[in-house]
């Protein structure tokens, strides 16, 4: 047994362990910017390219969150030659997608003020 305790060394080891744990957990943190990036990537793509019957290949770029099992639109509204699809992602996160008559996504927008609930893991 070491007769002289090393509080500084022990504190440093604890701090390094906590930093490592925080770094590892950061990869699992919810990301609002990643969610926004996926919506931005929708623009210019075909609307039906993001509809999946089977998510075995993954549904990360789907309109609905993985917890939304019903996969229904909240509302569909005609806007000129286009249609706007309203979607609830999760809890209070709502957005809409404007789709041209040719089936191409023209734009998307938030439909709620509190955007912090719009994220992916």
Nearest to 73 by CA among 61, 89, 58: 89
What pLDDT shows up at residue 23?
39
pLDDT in tens, 64-113: 777 777 778 899 999 999 999 998 888 788 899 999 999 999 999 999 88
Residue 16 has pLDDT above 60, yes or no: no
Instruction: Give the predicted TM-score (pTM) of the model.
Output: 0.68
52, 55, 61, 67: CA torsion to nearest 10: 100
Number of neighbouring beta carbons within 10 Å of residue 38: 16
């Amino acid at each position: 047994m070491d007769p002289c305790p090393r509080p500084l060394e022990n504190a440093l080891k604890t701090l390094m362990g906590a930093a490592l744990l925080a770094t590892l957990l950061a990869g699992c943190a919810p990301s609002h910017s990643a969610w926004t990036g996926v919506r931005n990537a929708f623009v210019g793509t075909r609307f039906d390219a993001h509809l999946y019957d089977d998510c075995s290949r993954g549904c990360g770029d789907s309109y609905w969150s993985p917890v939304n099992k019903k996969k229904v639109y909240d509302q569909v509204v005609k806007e000129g030659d286009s249609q706007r699809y309203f979607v609830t992602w999760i809890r209070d996160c709502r957005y809409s997608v404007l789709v041209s008559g040719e089936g191409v996504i023209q734009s998307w927008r938030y439909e709620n003020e509190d955007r912090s609930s719009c994220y992916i893991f």
